[in-house]
Each structure stands twice: as C-alpha cells, then as structure tokens.
C-alpha cells in the first residue's frame, strides 16, 4: 500500500513538473511572438513616418500638380494608404506565422525569427532537423499574404 501511494505521488510530481516546463516554454514563446509583433508595429510606424516625410511637397510643386491634375491630396492619400495597408499586411503575416510556430510542439518560436517584407517571408535561426526546417517553411507558405518563403534556418547542434 505504501509503495502504491509513493508511486502515485511520484507520478503526480512528474506530471506537475512536465506541465510546468511545458507551460513555461509556451509562455516564453508567446512573449517572444508579442515582442516580434511590437517590433513590426514600430517598423510600420517608421515606414509611415518616412513615407509622409518623403511626400511633403514644396509650394511650387503643389501649385504645378494642382494645375496639371487636380489630384494632389488624393494621390498622397492613396500612396500613404498603400504603405499602411502593405505594412499592416506584413505585420499580420508575421504574427500569423509566429502564432503557428508557437502552437507547433516540434518547432521553437524562440529559435526561429520571422520577417515579412512585401509578402516575402524570411525564416532565420535554428531548427533541430531538416524535417523541422521543411515544416517551418510549410507553415509559412500556408499563411495568407505569403508570396515567397526564404529560409536561412540552420541545424541546431545537439550536445
């Protein structure tokens, strides 16, 4: 009876340790994904600021453009809107891929960095096997907004 009780207690302790380690890794992965999204948001903000700065026109340019086309305000709005839409789409794509990596038990979102520019996804970092590299690329390719996937993932050396 004492041996059975000890076995049950050890099993419960083992299960608790496994659960704790798994959840801690998952929480770290989620935090890493949130940091990536925050970085992408900063890049989006900077891209918008650069575009707005580059589209500021001199008075003579505005006068000439208004006389020629009458579309200065609409043209600027379309250009800025396109930059915002594209940067937002890239941020959404990166976040979706990072979420898939966090959910996949075979891949580590902490070891794989995702960068999306104009629908081209670059995966970098390390993976435990060639199959894992292929799986990470497949997850990225199956994400909306992805036009191309480039992987510079390297095999992680196991000691």
Q: What is the mean pLDDT of each run of 10 residues along the chain (159 residues)?
A: 69 68 63 78 72 54 66 49 71 91 86 90 89 89 90 79
Residues written for the chain: 159
- Give the pLDDT score at 27: 66
Task: Convert 125-150 to b/e letters by CB count within 10 Å (16 or more is b).
Answer: bbbeeeebbebbbebbeebebbeebe
Is the sign of the CA dihedral 110, 115, 119, 123 positive or negative? negative
- Model pTM score: 0.51
Residue 48 pLDDT: 66
- Condensed to tens digits (0 to 9), the pLDDT of residues 73-87 reads 444 455 556 666 677
Query: Which class is 28-155 in CATH?
Result: mainly alpha
Count of Cβ atoms closer than 10 Å to residue 56 Cβ: 9
What lies within 8 Å, CB to CB, of 121 at 6+ separation is 93, 94, 97, 114, 115, 140, 143, 146, 148, 149, 150
Report the candidate in 29, 19, 16, 13 with the shortest Cα–Cα distance to residue 106.
29
Tell which residue, 120, 115, 126, 124, has the closest CA to residue 149: 120
Res 158: pLDDT: 61
Cα–Cα distance for residue pair 91/136, rounded to 1 Å: 18
Map tokens 């915002």 to a residue. Answer: 84
pLDDT value of residue 56: 47
pLDDT of the residue at 132? 87
């Amino acid at each position: 009876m004492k041996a059975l009780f000890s076995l049950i207690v050890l099993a419960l302790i083992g299960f608790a340790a496994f659960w704790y380690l798994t959840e801690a890794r998952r929480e770290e992965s989620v935090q890493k994904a949130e940091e990536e999204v925050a970085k992408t948001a900063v890049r989006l903000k900077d891209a918008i600021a650069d575009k707005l700065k580059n589209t500021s026109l001199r008075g003579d340019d505005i006068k000439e453009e208004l006389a020629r086309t009458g579309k200065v305000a609409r043209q600027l709005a379309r250009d800025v809107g396109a930059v915002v839409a594209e940067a937002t789409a890239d941020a959404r794509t990166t976040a979706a891929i990072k979420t898939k990596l966090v959910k996949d038990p075979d891949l580590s979102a902490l070891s794989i960095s995702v960068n999306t520019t104009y629908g081209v996804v670059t995966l970098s970092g390390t993976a435990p096997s060639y199959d894992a590299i292929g799986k990470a690329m497949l997850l990225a390719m199956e994400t909306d907004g992805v036009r191309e996937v480039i992987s510079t993932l390297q095999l992680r050396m196991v000691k």
